[in-house]
C-alpha cells in the first residue's frame, strides 16, 4: 500500500499516472488531502468511482493507527498512535479561549536525551519518525478541525523526542507543514534541549519558525543534573550558539524553564538566569513542573512563580507563566510516553 501522505506533489502525480489517470487527477487528490480534509477515498466525491476503487486497493491515507484518545476537562485531546513498523507515539491538540488550536507533535519514539523530569526521556530511545509520520499527526487534527469549521492554527514540535536529534526529518516535516498544510512559519515552534551544532545549522535555514530552548537551570552543575546533554554542550557554548542564532536569523528565542519547587525557582536562580540571557532577544516561558512517575519533584506554587517573573523583569527579560493544559490526562509538557492501554 502506498501512503499518500508520504508522497511529494511530484511523487503523487507519478503514482496517479501509474493508475492510468490524467495529471489533473493528482491535483484533485492533493486538494482532498491537504485542503478539504478527506478521511476516506470514498469521500473524494469528484473522482471517478473506478479511481476511488483503485485508490482503496492500492493506497492509504496515512500510516498511523489510532489506539486511544483521552479528553481533558479543559478540552485538550491526547492521542496514542501505533506505528506501522511497531512502537507508539502520542500527539496532543490544545484549544485556547482566543480561538487558537495548537497541535503538539512527536518526532521520535522515545528520546535519547534522558532529561530526568521528562516521561519521554525516562523511556529511552527507540527510533526516529519519518517526515510523513511527523506531519500526519498534524494532518489528522487539521482535517478533524476542518469538519468542525475550525482550523489548526499552530504546531509545536514539542512532543515525544528531540527534533534536532532527528534533524533532517524534522526540517522536512516543518517545510511540509508550511507548504502542504498551510501553517505559517511563525505559527510553528521547534524545541530543542540545546544541540549546539543543530542550532547553528538551523540558523542558516532561512526560516521564520520559532526556536525554543529547554534551559531549566542557569549553572552547568544544575543543568547537567537535569539535562545530561549539558555535559556535552555546556551553558557557555549553548549561549554562544543562541547569540549567533539570534544575530543570523533576527528571531527572538524562547527559553523554556520547568519550575521545580525548591530546585530552580528561588530569587537567586532567577537572578542568575536574568544575567545569563541578558542582551539576547528572548522570552522566558515558565512551566510549573508537570508530574511524572519517574521524578519526585513538585511544581512551583503561584506566588514563587510570580516572584521569579519579577526578578527576571529587573534584567529586562520578559517572562510568562504558562497555563498548564491537559494535566489530568498526562498531556502536559514532559508527560508524553508510550502509554499503551488494554
Query: Is residue 271 included in any domain, yes or no?
Result: yes
Contact 105, 91 (CB under 8 A): yes
Residue 341 is predicted with a pLDDT of 44
Asked if residue 91 and residue 19 are part of one domain, the reply reads: no
Is 336 within the bounds of a domain? no
In angstroms, the CA 184 to CA 208 distance is 9
C-alpha cell at 140: 489528522
Instruction: Look at residues 60, 86, 105 and tell me which one is the last residue of a structural domain.
Output: 60
Same domain, 36 and 145: no
Asked if residue 337 is part of any domain, the answer here is no
* 222 and 133 both lie in a single domain: yes
Which of 41, 60, 79 finishes a domain? 60
| CATH code of residue 74 | 3.20.20.70
| 338 part of a folded domain | no
Which pLDDT score is estimated for 332?
81
Choice among 17, 90, 221, 296 that is catalytic: 90
44 phi/psi in degrees, rounded to 5: -85, 75
288/299 Cα distance (integer angstroms): 5
Tens digit of each residue's pLDDT (9 = 90 or more) over 275-287? 999 999 999 999 9
The vertex-227 CA angle with 224 and 232, nearest 5°, equals 65
pLDDT digits 0-9 by tens, 8-26: 999 999 999 999 999 999 9
In a domain, 315, yes or no: yes
In this structure, the answer to whether residues 41 and 154 fall within a common structural domain is no
Grid cell for residue 242 = 543562541
Percent helix, strand, coil in the chain, to 5, is 40, 20, 40
Task: Give every CB contact of residue 42 below 8 A, 6+ residues apart in sequence.
Answer: 52, 56
Listed range (42-46, 76-80, 260-264, 334-338) with the worst mean pLDDT: 334-338
pLDDT of residue 326: 86
pLDDT in tens, 198-247: 999 999 999 999 999 999 999 999 999 999 999 999 999 999 999 999 99
Q: Let me know if residue 342 belongs to a domain.
A: no
Catalytic status, residue 90: yes
Q: CA end-to-end span of the chain, whole Å?
A: 28
**C-alpha grid cell for residue 9?**
506533489
Q: Give the integer Cα–Cα distance in Å for 230 and 227.
A: 6
Q: Which pLDDT score, from 0 to 100, does residue 323 have?
A: 81
Going by pLDDT thresholds of 50, 70 and 90, the confidence category of residue 342 is very low
Angle, CA 105 vertex, CA 181 and CA 34 arms, to 5°: 15
Give CA torsion, residues 274, 276, 280, 285, to 10 deg: -60
Q: Looking at the structure, tell me whether residues 282 and 257 fall in a common domain.
A: yes
Q: Are 38 and 121 within one domain? A: no
Are 82 and 45 contained in the same domain?
no
What DSSP string runs through 91-159?
EEEEE-TTS-EEEE--SEEE-SS--TT-HHHHH-EEEEPPHHHHHHHHHHHHHHHHHTT----EEEE-S
Pairing of strands 253-259, 210-214: parallel
pLDDT in tens, 290-337: 888 889 889 999 999 999 999 999 999 999 998 878 888 888 888 888
Are 53 and 74 in the same domain? no
**Is residue 335 included in any domain, yes or no?**
no
Last residue of a domain, one of 10, 27, 60: 60
pLDDT-based confidence at residue 89 (cuts at 50, 70, 90): very high
Q: Residue 174: which domain range?
A: 65-329
Q: Structural domain tally of the chain?
A: 2
Same domain, 17 and 161: no
Q: What is the pLDDT of residue 146?
A: 87
DSSP helix/strand/coil, 191:
strand
- Distance, CA of 117 to CA of 140 (rounded, Å): 29
The active-site residue out of 104, 115, 118, 333 is 333
- 170 or 1, which is more confident? 170
Of the given ranges (172-181, 228-237, 255-264, 327-336), which has the lowest mean pLDDT? 327-336
In a domain, 46, yes or no: yes
* Same domain membership, residue 165 and residue 55: no
What's the chain's average pLDDT?
94
Q: Are 37 and 100 in a shared domain?
A: no
Pairing label, strands 65-71, 77-82: antiparallel
CATH code for the domain in which residue 14 is found: 1.10.150.530
Condensed to tens digits (0 to 9), the pLDDT of residues 24-41 reads: 999 999 999 998 888 899
Based on the fold, state whether residues 158 and 103 are members of the same structural domain.
yes
Annotated active-site residue 333? The verdict is yes
HEC assignment per residue over 231-291: HCCCHHHHHHHHHHHHHHHCCCEEEEEEEECCCCCCHHHHHHHHHHHCCCCEEEEEEECCC
Amino acid at each position: 500500500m502506498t501512503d499518500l501522505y508520504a508522497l511529494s506533489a511530484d511523487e503523487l502525480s507519478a503514482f496517479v499516472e501509474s493508475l492510468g489517470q490524467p495529471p489533473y487527477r493528482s491535483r484533485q487528490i492533493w486538494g482532498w488531502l491537504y485542503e478539504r480534509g478527506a478521511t476516506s477515498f470514498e469521500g473524494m466525491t469528484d473522482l471517478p468511482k473506478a479511481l476511488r476503487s483503485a485508490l482503496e486497493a492500492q493506497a492509504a491515507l496515512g500510516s498511523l493507527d489510532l489506539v486511544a484518545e483521552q479528553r481533558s476537562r479543559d478540552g485538550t485531546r491526547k492521542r496514542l498512535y501505533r506505528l506501522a513498523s511497531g512502537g507508539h507515539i502520542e500527539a496532543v491538540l490544545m484549544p485556547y479561549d482566543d480561538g487558537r488550536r495548537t497541535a503538539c507533535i512527536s518526532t521520535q519514539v522515545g528520546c535519547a536525551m534522558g532529561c530526568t523530569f521528562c516521561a519521554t526521556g525516562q523511556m529511552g530511545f527507540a527510533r526516529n519518525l519519518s517526515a510523513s509520520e511527523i506531519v500526519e499527526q498534524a494532518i489528522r487534527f487539521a482535517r478533524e478541525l476542518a469538519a468542525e469549521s475550525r482550523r489548526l492554527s499552530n504546531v509545536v514540535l514539542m512532543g515525544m523526542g528531540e527534533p534536532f536529534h532527528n534533524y533532517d526529518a524534522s526540517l522536512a516535516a516543518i517545510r511540509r507543514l508550511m507548504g502542504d498544510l498551510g501553517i505559517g512559519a511563525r505559527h510553528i515552534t521547534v524545541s530543542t534541549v540545546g544541540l549546539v551544532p543543530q542550532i547553528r545549522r538551523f540558523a542558516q535555514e532561512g526560516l521564520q519558525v520559532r526556536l525554543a530552548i529547554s534551559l531549566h537551570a542557569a549553572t552547568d552543575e544544575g543543568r547537567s543534573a537535569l539535562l545530561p546533554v549539558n555535559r556535552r554542550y555546556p551553558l557557555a557554548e549553548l549561549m554562544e550558539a543562541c547569540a549567533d542564532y539570534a544575530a543570523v536569523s533576527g528571531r527572538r528565542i524562547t527559553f523554556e524553564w520547568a519550575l521545580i519547587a525548591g530546585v530552580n525557582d528561588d530569587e537567586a536562580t532567577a537572578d542568575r538566569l536574568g544575567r545569563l540571557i541578558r542582551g539576547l532577544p528572548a522570552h522566558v516561558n515558565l512551566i510549573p513542573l508537570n508530574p511524572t512517575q519517574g521524578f519526585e519533584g513538585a511544581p512551583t506554587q503561584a506566588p514563587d512563580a510570580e516572584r521569579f517573573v519579577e526578578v527576571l523583569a529587573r534584567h529586562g527579560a520578559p517572562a510568562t507563566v504558562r497555563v498548564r493544559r491537559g494535566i489530568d490526562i498526562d498531556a502536559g509538557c514532559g508527560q508524553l510516553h508510550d502509554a499503551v492501554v488494554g
